[in-house]
Amino acid sequence: MATKKIESQEKVITADLFRTVGKSVEEMEAISRPSLTFWQEAWLRIRKDKAAFIGLIILTVYVILAIFAPMVSRYEFDQQDAYAMKQSFSAEHWFGTDSLGRDLWVRIWVGARVSLSIGFIAAFINSVIGTILGGFSGYIGGKFDMILMRIIDIIYGIPALIVNILVMVVLGPGIKSLIIAMVITGWAGACRFTRGEVYRLKEQEFVLAARVLGESTFMIIVREIIPNLMGLIITNLAMAIPAAIFREAFLSYIGLGIAPPNASWGVLAKEGTAMIRLCPHMLYVPAFFICTTVLAFNLLGNGLRDAFDPRMRGTD
């Protein structure tokens, strides 16, 4: 009798007895974020990083002014005016004039063309050479890797600044000489960095699959390994550009870079140092642009490093 009573009290459990609390099943199963490519997500992260985005804006403004400002100005960068020497900031000369009456606004942006061009070209060549040599060194190994690493050890054993100065003394001042001097020693850092990353990637499954399919060593490095390092290479390039700009400014400052009357930020800083007591603006203006450019590249480089870090993907 007791068993029959319990069975009669049992109820059939159906879906009508339950109530959904919170989001609906459709909302919970839906994709919560749009599908983005690697580069789209990296760009989104840079935009969210205020410091990196400010650095990008500063560099963009400087590049645009370097291209167009000398074109629209009524003064030439080497135009002398005996009646406008050593003037401070004014409506006619926004950044003042130098000891020869030349307009500093035009000279700053002509100098930006030279400094930024040298920085971009030297850093790009260093990255290309270092990436190619480091890729082959890390993948092939053996005697080639040993010889290349000993060459890099020799390069690191000699201060790069001394090598740059010696090269400039031999080749003479000029843009080509500056680029050659920076490339002779600058590729070593990118090469060692790429070699270490290739050592890490060459045993991954996608590389082993390409090897099984019969791809050549060159194609595996170019098509499989280097694209997976592109984010880190771009970050390394962004950090190398300000170093090249600062090196150009220093060499020009000591008289081994760009020869006057041509302008670069280092040349302008050297000319301003000689007149710092009478016309301090001649030094402060180029120093401001050198510092802000280096700072902007460093901020952008830090943002790129975080944006390309795979461990940061999907954490927002």
Looking at the domain assignment, is residue 251 inside a domain?
A: yes
CB proximity list for 260: less than 8 A, separation 6 or greater: 267, 271
Q: Does any domain span residue 127?
A: yes
Q: Is 193 left (phi over 0), alpha (psi -120 to 50) or beta?
A: alpha
Give the range among 90-94, 117-121, 190-194 with minimum mean pLDDT: 90-94
The reply to whether 148 falls in a domain is yes
The CATH number of the domain holding residue 263 is: 1.10.3720.10
Choose the weakest-confidence range: 75-79, 247-251, 270-274.
75-79
- Does residue 195 fall inside a structural domain? yes
pLDDT at 54: 92
Q: Can you give the pLDDT at residue 57?
A: 93
Residue 285 scores a pLDDT above 50: yes
Confidence grade of residue 312 (pLDDT, cut at 50, 70, 90): low
Q: Which of 17-31, 47-61, 84-98, 289-303 has the lowest mean pLDDT?
A: 17-31
C-alpha radius of gyration, the chain, whole number:
29
What's the pLDDT at 314? 47
Domain assignment present for residue 155? The answer is yes
Q: Report the alpha-carbon distance of residue 276 to residue 270 in Å, rounded.
A: 10
Give pLDDT tens digits for 48-63.
888 889 999 999 999 9
Amino acid 23: pLDDT: 60
Give the Cα separation of 187 and 142 in Å (integer).
21
Query: Is residue 33 assigned to a domain?
Result: no
Structural domains of the chain, count = 1
Does the pLDDT at position 289 exceed 70? yes
Has residue 277 been placed in a domain? Answer: yes
Domain that holds residue 51: 40-70+95-312
pLDDT in tens, 29-46: 555 566 666 667 777 888
Q: Is residue 293 part of a domain?
A: yes
Q: Which residue has the higher pLDDT, 296 or 213?
A: 296
